[in-house]
Chain A
């Protein structure tokens, strides 16, 4: 048994060394397929980053009743913070709001002047609420409008944001499902292309296999070397893809950073390195061996 396995590995290795152009073609399609998988995986990371970025910009501003006391405000804030749907609640006093407004419009003398005209601080103190999840804003809004918070809440910055929030929630759901479907379709197509290329490439195997059968080779002994060869091709393709991706990361890092508002491709690559290598190796080896198997299967009957 051990002798058989040793021989199978040696035969596979020999075929790998001696069938240059065939292996090259196989490795090439596997690289293309793996790169596609990696690209899908990376774009998922980018989309997630973009969505997170958008989510971060969403909040609800609750303008507080100027008559409510410090205690009432703290109490309201604590109660809101305790809600499981709420991620954070930040209190801004009316002075802080004014300060921020000044900062934002520092280059706009007309607006600053108009503030002087008003004289007193026209802003309300506010609570900025962030939800854990975009789809939870609706329920938070409902709560804020209920009797529980009637005393403290002067006005909820609500209507303008509600439509944006709803649309965004729907959009994010859509991106996730469309992305998943297209990734699956792309993956299936690329796997089929790889299989077919390899099948065509080792078409000549029919002759070799009929000779092996003639000499009385059992099927497992015929199949083995093809699988070994496929595994070698797949592994090489995976390593090549890995290097290729490293190159792409280095070239595109800065550009992607600009395009995606701060997505750090290099950082993403480093933190997902083991996952990426597993995906690349697994898909390479699976493609290489399974496609060899499928390609020779029909010649192995009888």
Chain B
């Protein structure tokens, strides 16, 4: 479903972030990408979202070369990927409900669909009682769950999560990871980037290890080894 082919990324002038990375992610997989900070995990996500372009190599999404996507079509491509980040990236002047609804409004969902789906999505992530709260009024874990609900609202083919537990304590980290597993079980592909050892070892899923921009290990039911 997603193929990285000989990807290198050099930030000008000479900062090498990724070097000759190749791997593929199948539909419905749960893949973790691990590595020390600076290993190139976030860069890989930026390339997939086409916020950056690779210096070399190709990325295919459902057999389409994403570098061929026209700028004007980028929004529609990005609607197929639900992205979750360490810093949550919620819209501060919208409530929890509105943040999730926004993703559907952008895609042209009808009012009926929005009123039906948003409460359901917020139910999945356990935020039934926070509809009207603004991001500044809820905890980090709740913010991240809002972000996940928003990612789900787009009915994405894949969810990418870049250090989603980076700002959370172990208890709330586990909640988030459990949620991602639940989403994966419902059929959505998940790509999780993290340097959190506990998270990886509890997952027992495929683990790809990066070190200084290179792919050093790719194991089914992997463990966190650096």
Chain A residues packing against B (C-beta within 8 Å) = 3-4, 7, 14-15, 18-19, 208, 210-219, 221, 302
Q: Please give, as numbers and ranges, the residues of chain B lying within 8 Å of A210 by CB-CB distance.
A: 89
The reply to whether B106 and A217 form a contact with Cβ atoms under 8 Å apart is yes
Q: Can you list 29 A-B pairs with a CB-CB distance of less than 8 A?
A: A3-B108, A3-B110, A14-B93, A18-B93, A19-B93, A208-B93, A211-B90, A212-B102, A212-B106, A213-B78, A214-B83, A214-B89, A215-B78, A215-B79, A215-B102, A215-B103, A215-B150, A216-B75, A216-B77, A216-B78, A216-B103, A216-B107, A216-B154, A217-B75, A218-B75, A218-B76, A218-B106, A219-B75, A302-B71
Q: What distance in Å separates the Cβ of B79 from its nearest Cβ neighbour in chain A?
A: 3
B191 within 8 A of partner (CB) = no
The reply to whether B108 and A15 form a contact with Cβ atoms under 8 Å apart is no
Question: Which A residue's beta carbon lies closest to that of B98?
Answer: A14
Partner of B106, one of A15, A19, A216: A216
Q: Please give, as numbers and ranges, the residues of chain B lying within 8 Å of A208 by CB-CB distance.
A: 91-93
B138 within 8 A of partner (CB) = no
Q: What distance in Å separates the Cβ of B27 from its nearest Cβ neighbour in chain A?
A: 20
Q: How many residues of B contact A (CB 8 A)?
A: 28
Q: Please give, as numbers and ranges, the residues of chain B lying within 8 Å of A302 by CB-CB distance.
A: 51, 71, 74
Q: Please give, as numbers and ranges, the residues of chain B lying within 8 Å of A216 by CB-CB distance.
A: 75-80, 103, 106-107, 154
Question: Which B residue's beta carbon lies closest to that of A6?
Answer: B111
The reply to whether A211 and B78 form a contact with Cβ atoms under 8 Å apart is no
> Per-residue CB proximity of B77-107 to A under 8 Å, as 1/0?
1111001000001111110001000110111
B49 within 8 A of partner (CB) = yes
Question: Which B residue's beta carbon lies closest to that of A15?
Answer: B93
Q: What distance in Å separates the Cβ of A297 from its nearest Cβ neighbour in chain B?
A: 15
A218 to B89, CA, bound (A): 18
Q: Please give, as numbers and ranges, the residues of chain A lying within 8 Å of B154 by CB-CB distance.
A: 215-216
> Per-residue CB proximity of B53-87 to A under 8 Å, as 1/0?
00000000000000000010011111110010000
Question: Which B residue's beta carbon lies closest to that of A220?
Answer: B75
Q: Please give, as numbers and ranges, the residues of chain B lying within 8 Å of A214 by CB-CB distance.
A: 49, 78, 83, 89
Partner of A212, one of B51, B91, B110: B91
Q: Please give, as numbers and ranges, the residues of chain A lying within 8 Å of B51 by CB-CB distance.
A: 302
Most chain B beta-carbon neighbours within 10 Å: one of A18, A211, A212? A211
List B33-55 residues whose CB lies under 8 Å from chain A: 49, 51
Q: What distance in Å separates the Cβ of B144 from its nearest Cβ neighbour in chain A?
A: 14
A19 to B93, CA, bound (A): 8
The reply to whether A211 and B94 form a contact with Cβ atoms under 8 Å apart is no
Q: What distance in Å separates the Cβ of A175 from its nearest Cβ neighbour in chain B?
A: 50
The reply to whether A215 and B94 form a contact with Cβ atoms under 8 Å apart is no
The reply to whether A211 and B91 form a contact with Cβ atoms under 8 Å apart is yes
A213 to B51, CA, bound (A): 10
Question: Which A residue's beta carbon lies closest to that of B103?
Answer: A215
Q: What distance in Å separates the Cβ of B111 from its nearest Cβ neighbour in chain A?
A: 8
Question: Which B residue's beta carbon lies closest to that of A22?
Answer: B93
> Per-residue CB proximity of B114-131 to A under 8 Å, as 1/0?
000000000000000000
Q: Sorted from nearest, which 9 A-B pairs have the closest CB atoms?
A: A216-B79, A216-B78, A18-B93, A217-B106, A218-B75, A216-B75, A211-B89, A215-B103, A7-B105
A15 to B77, CA, bound (A): 27
A122 to B158, CA, bound (A): 109
Since A211-B89, A216-B107 are in contact, a sample of 18 more A-B pairs with Cβ atoms closer than 8 Å, ordered by chain A residue number, is A3-B110, A4-B108, A14-B94, A18-B93, A19-B93, A208-B93, A212-B91, A212-B106, A214-B78, A215-B79, A215-B106, A216-B76, A216-B77, A216-B78, A216-B79, A217-B106, A221-B106, A302-B51
A213 to B92, CA, bound (A): 15
Q: Please give, as numbers and ranges, the residues of chain B lying within 8 Å of A218 by CB-CB distance.
A: 75-76, 106
A208 to B145, CA, bound (A): 19
A7 to B51, CA, bound (A): 26
A284 to B222, CA, bound (A): 62
A302 to B50, CA, bound (A): 9
Q: What distance in Å separates the Cβ of A16 from its nearest Cβ neighbour in chain B?
A: 10
A7 to B107, CA, bound (A): 12
Q: Please give, as numbers and ranges, the residues of chain A lying within 8 Å of B150 by CB-CB distance.
A: 215
Q: Please give, as numbers and ranges, the residues of chain B lying within 8 Å of A219 by CB-CB distance.
A: 75
A15 to B102, CA, bound (A): 14
Q: What distance in Å separates the Cβ of B73 from its nearest Cβ neighbour in chain A?
A: 10
Question: Which B residue's beta carbon lies closest to that of A18?
Answer: B93
Q: Please give, as numbers and ranges, the residues of chain A lying within 8 Å of B111 by CB-CB distance.
A: 3
A214 to B91, CA, bound (A): 11
Q: Please give, as numbers and ranges, the residues of chain B lying within 8 Å of A215 by CB-CB distance.
A: 78-79, 102-103, 106, 150, 154
Q: Please give, as numbers and ranges, the residues of chain B lying within 8 Å of A221 by CB-CB distance.
A: 106
Q: What distance in Å separates the Cβ of B153 from its nearest Cβ neighbour in chain A?
A: 9
Q: What distance in Å separates the Cβ of A124 from its nearest Cβ neighbour in chain B?
A: 83
